[in-house]
Amino acid sequence: MHPDLHVLKQRIPLLDYLRRQNWTARPVGAHQEFVGLCPLHPETHPSFYVNAAKNVFYCHGCGHGGDIIRFVQLSLNLSFREALLHLKQQLGLPEPGENEALRETVDFYQQQLGRHSEALDYLHSRGIDDPRLIEQLSIGYAPGGMLYRHLICLGYPADLLMRLGLVYKGKDAFYRRVVFPCFAGSCPINLYGRSIGGAAPHRFLPRSKAGLFAWSTVGNYHEVILVEGVFDLAVLWQAGFINTTCAFGVHLTDAQFSQLSDHRDRTAFIAFDSDPAGQKAACALGQRLQRVGLSVRIIDLPAGQDPNSYFVEGASQAHFDRCLRNARRP
């Protein structure tokens, strides 16, 4: 049982709930059992039993039985989710919101990752193996078909999940994707999903990309390495370069640019793809950053490589260290 459900049931004992509905009963036996007329079907002789210790009911007349949620479903003709909402309203609990839904999603995907070898195989193929790093980056996996039900069971309304973009046409929008949450401080505010199959490779929630990746920690460094993608970042963090951030592409948003340039004495090392497009973008960004007072160095990787492929093909911390030392002005 999910902990939320457990708490909910503890906070509204079935017997209390029934008594509030004017159900009258007499005790039977020695084990906190009560019997009274069934609220679910017409009868003249009591056949509705409640076990207050176990918080369950059973009616020998109509054959219905279960917990408080089941009772609310049957007596008010509600779905499981509606019954949960009804009980939460009885408790005066606010409907859970967007932040909580994103946090639950991140937790759920994290739990799924270890259960799906195809996702771990994909991470392995991208050079990511260290369980501590996977935990540190809160990397997860969306197997598809389970997130919706999980969140609905926790009481999140379907329209919220659709509005957030977690669910599209009743399906998990990140289906068969490895998922990296983007945080502002400790609060997840977007998700990046990388398809492990043939579907569109990159996906975000339809909301702001939320600045530079992991900036609340990386922004404390005097020297910062900027890469294009989160897989570049992951292999660099794994190799110990935890002063690496990424902008999910070569074009920084205004917010990302102001983050990177918020300290004039910062040195930015740009490690974009070693192809003409990546190099051109690195040069242009480097010059822009220099104009606002930063020191900038461009990292040259072997032709055709990006930081991720460089490490996947066997580069070590020492190799990348050498690239850092040899970095040039834009």
Q: Which residues pair with 187 in a beta bridge?
A: 184
Residue 182 per-residue DSSP state: E
**Nearest-approach distance from CB 40 to Zn ion, in angstroms:** 5
Residue 57 phi/psi, 5-degree rounding, is: -130, 160
Residue among 325, 280, 278 at smallest CA distance from 305:
278
Residue of 40, 56, 133, 153 that binds Zn ion (CB under 5 A): 40
**What whole-number distance in Å separates Cα of residue 232 and Cα of residue 198?**
21
**Nearest-approach distance from CB 62 to Zn ion, in angstroms:** 3
Nearer to Zn ion, 36 or 157 (CB): 36
Of the ranges 38-46, 66-74, 152-160, 260-268, which one interacts with Zn ion (CB under 5 A)?
A: 38-46
How many residues touch Zn ion under the rule CB under 5 A: the total is: 6
**Nearest-approach distance from CB 50 to Zn ion, in angstroms:** 12
Taking residues 190 to 219 in sequence order and writing x for each that binds Zn ion by CB under 5 A, - otherwise, the string is ------------------------------
Of the ranges 6-14, 41-49, 84-92, 224-232, which one interacts with Zn ion (CB under 5 A)?
A: 41-49
Residue of 9, 19, 41, 86 that binds Zn ion (CB under 5 A): 41
Residue of 12, 18, 37, 38 that binds Zn ion (CB under 5 A): 38
Count of all residues that appear for the chain in the document: 330
Nearer to Zn ion, 59 or 161 (CB): 59
Site for Zn ion in 45-74 (CB under 5 A): 59, 61-62
Contact 245, 233 (CB under 8 A): yes
Contact 190, 222 (CB under 8 A): no
**Nearest-approach distance from CB 84 to Zn ion, in angstroms:** 23
Nearer to Zn ion, 61 or 165 (CB): 61
Nearer to Zn ion, 61 or 157 (CB): 61
Residue 215 phi/psi, 5-degree rounding, is: -65, -25
| CA-derived radius of gyration, the chain | 27
Environment class of 314 (CB within 10 Å of its CB; exposed 0-12, middle 13-18, buried 19+): exposed
**192-206 as b/e: b if 16+ CB within 10 A:** bbbbbeeeeeebbbe
**Nearest-approach distance from CB 59 to Zn ion, in angstroms:** 3
Q: How far apart are the first and last CA of the chain?
A: 57
Of the ranges 10-18, 32-40, 215-223, 288-296, which one interacts with Zn ion (CB under 5 A)?
A: 32-40
Reading phi first (left if > 0) and then psi (alpha if -120 to 50, else beta), residue 139 is in beta
**What whole-number distance in Å separates Cα of residue 52 and Cα of residue 49?**
9
**Nearest-approach distance from CB 38 to Zn ion, in angstroms:** 3
**What whole-number distance in Å separates Cα of residue 306 and Cα of residue 278?**
9
25 binds Zn ion (CB under 5 A): no
Nearer to Zn ion, 33 or 98 (CB): 33
Nearer to Zn ion, 10 or 44 (CB): 44
Residue 313 in tokens: 């093909």
Of the ranges 34-42, 275-283, 290-298, 318-326, which one interacts with Zn ion (CB under 5 A)?
A: 34-42
Q: Which residues bind Zn ion (CB under 5 A)?
A: 38, 40-41, 59, 61-62
